[in-house]
Amino acid sequence: MVADLTYFQLEIDDLIGYTTHYEQIAGTSRQRGVEASLRYAATDWLILTGAYTYTHSVDQNDVRLTRVPRHEIGLTASVKPAEKWTISASARAAMDTVDTGGFELDDYLLVNARVAYKPTEDTELYVRAENLLDQDYQTVRGYNTPGFGVFAGFRAKFAP
């Protein structure tokens, strides 16, 4: 088992933000928070991970920065049913996010899954599904995000 606890603190001078256009936020914006994660190999074929992040994010006037979730939670389970196969599922929740004008964005939960087969050490075939629950959510007010989607691919490493 591996557990991590990280405190972070950022000071950003003249942050560049985006509302309807790019703009520079004069002064020093600050982000600070904590992230905790846990990785547990339950068996030699099952790995469970979880993470939680709390972020406090404000501009030079202590006004909350937009589009930064205050709370994020991530969970993943990965199974190796056979030597060359991996099946994984993940869930990520974002909570307490504001957009411009103090508009509160809805909390959301995204669930994804992936199946991969490695015929060789340097190649992989995979199929992944994103947003399995077909959630309607926004990370920016007025801009929709993708619904349910399925993707397939091939990955290869080439030595120089």
Question: What mean pLDDT is predicted for residues 32-51?
Answer: 97
**E-assigned strands of 19-148?**
22-41, 46-58, 71-82, 85-95, 97-98, 104-105, 108-120, 123-130
In this prediction, residue 112 carries a pLDDT of 98
With a cut of 90, say whether residue 38 has pLDDT above it: yes
Instruction: Give the pLDDT confidence of 102-137 residue by residue, as tens digits.
Output: 899 999 999 999 999 999 999 999 999 999 999 999
Q: How far apart are CA 139 and CA 112, in angstroms?
A: 17
Residues 6 or more apart from 146 whose CB is under 8 A from it?
A: 130, 131
- Cβ contact 100:121 at 8 Å: no
User: Could you give the maximum distance between any two Cα atoms of the chain, in Å?
Assistant: 56
Q: With bands split at pLDDT 50, 70 and 90, how would you rate the model's confidence at 143?
A: confident
With a cut of 80, say whether residue 16 has pLDDT above it: yes
**Pair of tokens at residue 157:** 């490493």
Q: pTM value?
A: 0.85
With a cut of 80, say whether residue 41 has pLDDT above it: yes
In this prediction, residue 25 carries a pLDDT of 81
